[in-house]
Chains A and B, each alone.
Chain A
Amino acid sequence: MSGSKPDILWAPHHVDRFVVCDSELSLYHIDSAVSSELKAGSLRLSEETTATLLSINSDTPYMKCVAWYPKYDPECLLAVGQANGRVVLTSLGQDHNSKCKDLIGKEFVPKHARQCNTLAWNPLDSNWLAAGLDKHRADFSVLIWDISSKYAPETAVATEKVRLSAGDAEAGLVVTKPLYELGQNDACLSLCWLPRDQKLLLAGMHRNLAIFDLRNTSQKIFVNTKAVQGVTVDPYFHDRVASFYEGQVAIWDLRKFEKPVLTLTEQPKPLTKVAWCPTRTGLLATLTRDSNIIRLYDMQHTPTPIGDETEPTIIERSVQPCENYIASFAWHPTSQNRMVVVTPNRTMSDFTVFERISLAWSPVTSLMWACGRHLYECTEEGKASSLEKDIATKMRLRALSRYGLDTEQVWRNHLLAGNEDPQLKSLWYTLHYILYFIVYTEDMDQKLTGNKGPLVYTGIKSIVKSSLGTTENLRHSRSGSDRQADIIQYLSEERSLALQLCGWIKKGTDLDVEPFLNSLEQEGDWERAAAVALFNLDIRRAIQILNKGASSGKGDLNLNVVAMALSGYTDEKNSLWREMCSTLRLQLNNPYLCAMFAFLTSESGSYDGVLYENNVAVRDRVAFACKFLNDAQLNRFIEKLTNEMKEAGNLEGILLTGLTKDGVDLMESYVDRTGDVQTASYCMLQGSPSDVLKDERVQYWIENYRNLLDAWRFWHKRAEFDIHRSKLDPSSKPLAQVNIN
């Protein structure tokens, strides 16, 4: 510390006091700012704190270095080293107990006057004060003074010769004989007591770092180095020491003292101060001359390696506490990462170094983040409706309920998924019907086999493509109507297969939808049942269903009204009924009722009102198309619908694409939209090995799903999935043995 630039010291035992030293010592008291206005005489240090000047001591104008008495009592005793080598004890506070009075004003005078560079109180035996002075040919430069020693009478020769300065009128206030004298003929630039032993002193001498052992002063351990300034011991690792020379900092391990463990990046300008943070392990702050930046080196995660070739990694950061150049800084002894900096014109500022934040996600949507000594955990609220939940949560819940693993009644899987997603319902029913068809028609006709395996796998699009030219036309009348009306229906084997896949009819060429209607009635899906009945040209049955629906427990009484409207059906093209129904139907809420009236009021052959009613399930629209559209129209419609499904990633379209490459495209679109690799894996596992399973997208989904199960630590479920997979895809059997090297 030179006389011109101020230095700053925290009180070791009072966390709200600090001292600024330049040509005089000024004691400040830090307060948290109560309001935004300053009290008279307060200086603002930061947004939250202010400092008030408590006292000033100008007794020692030639001070070169200052050290604060480390014990609690007396609290404001300071040792000041001067340019002429004298160390004087002085006080700053109002504390006037007797212990202190003896000490104040005591001077410790070396034999030959020269500059005192550094002072260090022994942290354990607080009567010992080490002073480091400049070189003299006949004198020692490290002097250990005992501050409780009286004036030594045996140096009687020196009595007359000691030049007492004006204030020292009393004998006993000047001490000339130090307890120990070390370091002959060498300048001492910095000092630090080693915490591990009361009697070990680390000194930065002119050309080497030396450890003096006061138990045996003739021996010393030393290492030749240039980095001799500012030695300071890490308060958390007592074997780690930092020192610097010019712009370079060296970190030493005292256990292996021959060369520094690490040298930090060299700075262009010389350093003025280096200090370990007392509240956080492994943080070193350095300040260069004429700079407004304090560099922080974070060594927290690197134990000092001994004898390793690799350098430990240090994270380097810079902080800028204030706008101006900084003269000096001091870490707060207890508040984490807090420091006070002082500028050359004595403005001070209180600054806290903000720690880096580290984040960790758990596999189960909870988040932990850490900053300094604080740790926060955030978890997902459990009250969101299931549709709004994150897909990972949904997949996890489904995995817990063994979704996908029901291989008997495959459609039940959608119930395991919570029965909330209509697309999943459609998907699993499609798969169910496909498999049902395979299982229950072992003796199926050969011509229903495409060139890539059973046709049923390939989706309705391919099915109807292959049915070109084999369609019979039938003319039917709507049963129950008064007049004959000609509705053209189309039939073929492929169309009937399609209808089976849509679920309207079971196996067999009789187009009996009665079982389907019964099942819909049981579910309470009255409108849909009525529409299906109507599309099968049975008006009476439709009315019957609507009546049943109205009178059932949760039924809507309006269904009776709809039934009445339905019963007024007439073929007359210009009737009032027709006109009213075709316009008013659009105001019906239920899409199926809408579609019903559209069917009844549309021209034969142009059924757009039904086909493009988007809220009617895809399978119902497709089944309708298979019945009432001719080949060309059917193909066009299916093509268009398939593309729509693929773009939207709508799983209902699997019905159309089947488990083919097209289906993988659609599934890709679905996964892009939702991220549901779980459904994708289970679904595609049912596909044919050559076509689907070898697709790298499918493999990717399967691997991802397995990794997810592993991340959630669902080891058993992952094993079940592997078994399920190996049954369907024999080529994917995992290794029975794993070798670990």
Chain B
Amino acid sequence: ELPPSEFMQVADSTWLVLSVVSNGREPPGCQATGVTKIARSVIAPLAEHHVSVLMLSTYQTDFILVRERDLPVVIHTLAGEFDIYKEESGECVPVTCDDVSNGFLKPKPPASPTLHPVQSPQTRFCVLTVAPDTLPAIATMLIDVLFYSHSPPWDAATGSQDLDSITFFSFSLIEGYISIVMDAETQKRFPSDLLLTSSTGELWRMVRIGGQPLGFDECGIVAQIAEPLAAADISAYYISTFNFDHALVPEEGIAEVIQLLQQRQESGR
């Protein structure tokens, strides 16, 4: 447990992690991955049931975070299409939906959710992993990048926000697997044979969602991004952070994505 400190802000509730495990029965040729894959089956239904979600995409898989108190609603919503299991001390235990809590739906908010602005810097990012036993070899560099890089604080004058670069670095260590998102320039500072990435060396562009810090109560944020992407069948990484949400799309598709997202503003949804 980290001690409370004035330098740290902690969100108020406890969040539970969900991950979608494929059962191997996808139709062949299904190319979409990441949030796009689960947009229709998971993200949209949860948004309709007013469950606020955070997402974390890693090199290995995608995780959806929901509040602990929303869990019954989540189970109820998803039970129709998915078999739900709970992990208890390493074993997967099936969970059944509890109909009693069905009555506790939140009152419906106004019909149109807030449409959040998006920004897309020019920075190119790559998604990497590292073999755990080589982590000591890059540890110094990691610490340097994490804590000693110079970037403007987020609450600097919003008007003068430099759209060409948003500094973003993500390091996650989940169940022994490491996943890193860093921009291409930073990548050059690391020894190349220790960072493992796709063999085609694909790079990603980021779409940052939200002009203001998003907070944790609003639902439907992921859905409003994921649905247009799903419709266009574009894979995306999606990482929610404390302030904003970030979607990573393939470099060559960024133009199309921006266009899609702006269309949704124009269509006044």
A and B assemble together: yes
Interface residue ranges, A against B (CB under 8 Å): 2-4, 62, 83-85, 109-115, 134-138, 158, 161-163, 176, 182-187, 207, 210, 218, 220, 222, 224, 226
Chain B residue with the shortest CB-CB distance to A109: B199
Stretch at the interface among B9-17, B53-61, B72-80, B115-123: B53-61
Q: Chain B interface mostly helix, strand, loop or mixed?
A: loop
Interchain CA distance A222-B24 in the complex, whole Å: 10
Interchain CA distance A29-B264 in the complex, whole Å: 71
CB-CB under 8 A from A112, the residues of chain B are 59, 196-199
Chain B residue with the shortest CB-CB distance to A212: B24
Choose among A85, A109, A110, A114 the residue with the greatest number of B CB atoms under 10 Å from its CB: A114
Question: Are A85 and B25 in touch, CB under 8 angstroms?
Answer: no
Min CB gap B244→A, angstroms: 22
Question: Are B201 and A185 in touch, CB under 8 angstroms?
Answer: no
The B34-76 residues at the A interface (CB cut-off 8 A) are 34, 57-62
Question: Are B26 and A137 in touch, CB under 8 angstroms?
Answer: no
Show 8 residue pairs from A and B whose CB-CB distance is below 8 angstroms, ordered by the A residue: A84-B196, A111-B199, A114-B60, A138-B235, A158-B200, A186-B21, A218-B24, A218-B25
CB-CB under 8 A from A136, the residues of chain B are 59-60
Interchain CA distance A268-B24 in the complex, whole Å: 35
Interchain CA distance A224-B59 in the complex, whole Å: 24
Kindly supply a per-residue 1/0 record for chain B positions 190-211, scoring 1 wherever the CB is within 8 Å of any chain A CB and 0 otherwise: 0001001111111000000000
Interchain CA distance A170-B6 in the complex, whole Å: 59
Interchain CA distance A114-B177 in the complex, whole Å: 10
A162-B200 CB under 8 A given contacts A83-B134, A137-B34, A138-B235: yes
Question: Are B199 and A226 in touch, CB under 8 angstroms?
Answer: no
CB-CB under 8 A from B200, the residues of chain A are 111, 158, 161-162
Interchain CA distance A110-B129 in the complex, whole Å: 14
B92 on interface, CB distance cutoff 8 Å? yes
Q: Which of B24, B58, B199, B201 contacts A137 (CB 8 A)?
A: B58
CB-CB under 8 A from A109, the residues of chain B are 199
Min CB gap B30→A, angstroms: 9
Question: Are A137 and B91 in touch, CB under 8 angstroms?
Answer: no
Min CB gap A171→B, angstroms: 15
Question: Are B131 and A83 in touch, CB under 8 angstroms?
Answer: yes
CB-CB under 8 A from A207, the residues of chain B are 21, 92
The B156-213 residues at the A interface (CB cut-off 8 A) are 177, 193, 196-202
Question: Are A84 and B193 in touch, CB under 8 angstroms?
Answer: yes
Interchain CA distance A207-B23 in the complex, whole Å: 12
CB-CB under 8 A from A182, the residues of chain B are 24
Min CB gap A429→B, angstroms: 85
B259 on interface, CB distance cutoff 8 Å? no
Question: Are B59 and A137 in touch, CB under 8 angstroms?
Answer: yes
Interchain CA distance A361-B91 in the complex, whole Å: 52
Interchain CA distance A692-B79 in the complex, whole Å: 87
Question: Are A137 and B131 in touch, CB under 8 angstroms?
Answer: no
CB-CB under 8 A from A3, the residues of chain B are 133
CB-CB under 8 A from A135, the residues of chain B are 60-61, 177
19 other contacts beyond A184-B26, A218-B25, A224-B92, with CB at 8 A cut-off? Answer: A3-B133, A83-B196, A84-B131, A84-B193, A111-B200, A112-B59, A113-B196, A113-B199, A115-B196, A135-B61, A135-B177, A136-B60, A137-B59, A137-B60, A137-B61, A162-B199, A184-B24, A185-B61, A186-B21
CB-CB under 8 A from B131, the residues of chain A are 83-84, 115
Interface residue ranges, B against A (CB under 8 Å): 21-22, 24-26, 28, 33-34, 57-62, 90-92, 129, 131, 133-134, 177, 193, 196-202, 235
Interchain CA distance A636-B153 in the complex, whole Å: 126
Interchain CA distance A83-B131 in the complex, whole Å: 7
Interchain CA distance A391-B199 in the complex, whole Å: 85
CB-CB under 8 A from B21, the residues of chain A are 185-186, 207
Min CB gap A66→B, angstroms: 17
Min CB gap A387→B, angstroms: 73
Question: Are B26 and A163 in touch, CB under 8 angstroms?
Answer: no
Question: Are B199 and A176 in touch, CB under 8 angstroms?
Answer: yes
Question: Are B34 and A138 in touch, CB under 8 angstroms?
Answer: yes
CB-CB under 8 A from A183, the residues of chain B are 24
Interchain CA distance A220-B196 in the complex, whole Å: 30
Question: Are B201 and A161 in touch, CB under 8 angstroms?
Answer: yes
Interchain CA distance A115-B59 in the complex, whole Å: 12
CB-CB under 8 A from A134, the residues of chain B are 60, 129, 177
Interchain CA distance A183-B129 in the complex, whole Å: 19
Choose among A2, A109, A111, A112 the residue with the greatest number of B CB atoms under 10 Å from its CB: A112
Question: Are B57 and A137 in touch, CB under 8 angstroms?
Answer: yes
Q: Which of A163, A210, A220, A222 contacts B199 (CB 8 A)?
A: A163
Question: Are A2 and B133 in touch, CB under 8 angstroms?
Answer: yes
CB-CB under 8 A from B235, the residues of chain A are 138
Interchain CA distance A112-B33 in the complex, whole Å: 14
Min CB gap A161→B, angstroms: 4
CB-CB under 8 A from B193, the residues of chain A are 62, 84
Question: Are B22 and A114 in touch, CB under 8 angstroms?
Answer: no
Question: Are B33 and A137 in touch, CB under 8 angstroms?
Answer: yes
Interchain CA distance A236-B34 in the complex, whole Å: 44
Question: Are A184 and B199 in touch, CB under 8 angstroms?
Answer: no
CB-CB under 8 A from A220, the residues of chain B are 24
Question: Are A114 and B129 in touch, CB under 8 angstroms?
Answer: yes
Chain B residue with the shortest CB-CB distance to A115: B131
Question: Are A137 and B197 in touch, CB under 8 angstroms?
Answer: no
Interchain CA distance A184-B24 in the complex, whole Å: 7
Interchain CA distance A113-B131 in the complex, whole Å: 10
Interchain CA distance A183-B34 in the complex, whole Å: 16
Question: Are B177 and A85 in touch, CB under 8 angstroms?
Answer: no
CB-CB under 8 A from B34, the residues of chain A are 137-138
Min CB gap B91→A, angstroms: 7
Chain B residue with the shortest CB-CB distance to A112: B198
CB-CB under 8 A from A176, the residues of chain B are 199
CB-CB under 8 A from A113, the residues of chain B are 129, 196-199
Question: Are A110 and B199 in touch, CB under 8 angstroms?
Answer: yes
Min CB gap B9→A, angstroms: 29
Question: Are B28 and A218 in touch, CB under 8 angstroms?
Answer: yes
Choose among A109, A115, A137, A186 the residue with the greatest number of B CB atoms under 10 Å from its CB: A137
Chain A residue with the shortest CB-CB distance to B131: A83
Question: Are B196 and A137 in touch, CB under 8 angstroms?
Answer: no
CB-CB under 8 A from A85, the residues of chain B are 196
CB-CB under 8 A from B129, the residues of chain A are 113-114, 134
Interchain CA distance A136-B197 in the complex, whole Å: 10
Chain A residue with the shortest CB-CB distance to B33: A138
Interchain CA distance A114-B21 in the complex, whole Å: 19
CB-CB under 8 A from B92, the residues of chain A are 207, 224
Min CB gap B191→A, angstroms: 12
Chain B residue with the shortest CB-CB distance to A163: B201
Min CB gap B197→A, angstroms: 6
Choose among B25, B26, B133, B202 the residue with the greatest number of A CB atoms under 10 Å from its CB: B133
Interchain CA distance A138-B204 in the complex, whole Å: 14
Min CB gap A514→B, angstroms: 103
Interchain CA distance A109-B61 in the complex, whole Å: 20
Chain A residue with the shortest CB-CB distance to B59: A136
Interchain CA distance A407-B182 in the complex, whole Å: 110
Chain B residue with the shortest CB-CB distance to A85: B196
Interchain CA distance A122-B131 in the complex, whole Å: 27
Interchain CA distance A183-B202 in the complex, whole Å: 22
Question: Are A111 and B198 in touch, CB under 8 angstroms?
Answer: yes
Chain B residue with the shortest CB-CB distance to A185: B22
CB-CB under 8 A from B201, the residues of chain A are 161, 163
